[in-house]
């Protein structure tokens, strides 16, 4: 694995999300109750950037802006009746006050 520092930990507060471009990969960072996650910033349905959607901090639900597909931000699993829809999670670690992601 080749982790890269993509953001300062202090720049992503609980309940916030942000989209980043790391080389040619679109990355979505989420902070759900202090747990930081990284996914590819692409809805499995139509490829729309999930960073344009909405994160409900209390429930940890991420909603795509285009067709309102919903995902559990903690696990990436789809919450609606869309078969096995799931987000592609990227390995993440917190180190030296930064957020590090292993981007393919």
More confident residue, 82 or 54: 54
User: Would the CA dihedral through 19, 70, 103, 35 be positive or negative?
Assistant: positive
Tell me, what's the pLDDT at 67?
A: 92
pTM of the model: 0.93
Confidence class of residue 100 from pLDDT cuts 50, 70 and 90?
very high
pLDDT in tens, 38-69: 999 999 988 999 999 999 977 899 999 999 99
Tell me, what's the pLDDT at 57?
A: 76
Tell me, what's the pLDDT at 1?
A: 67
Does position 97 have pLDDT exceeding 80, yes or no? yes
Q: Which residues contact 28 (CB under 8 A, 6 or more apart)?
A: 17, 18, 19, 20, 38, 39, 40, 41, 49, 50, 51
């Amino acid at each position: 694995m080749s982790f890269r520092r993509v953001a300062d930990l202090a720049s992503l507060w609980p309940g916030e999300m942000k989209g980043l471009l790391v080389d040619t990969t679109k990355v979505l960072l989420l902070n759900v109750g202090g747990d930081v996650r990284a996914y590819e910033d692409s809805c499995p349905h139509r490829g729309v950037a999930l960073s344009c959607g909405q994160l409900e901090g209390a429930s940890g639900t991420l909603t795509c802006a285009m067709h309102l597909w919903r995902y559990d931000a903690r696990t990436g699993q789809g919450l609606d009746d869309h078969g096995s829809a799931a987000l592609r999670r990227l390995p993440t670690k917190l180190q030296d006050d930064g957020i590090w992601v292993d981007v393919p």
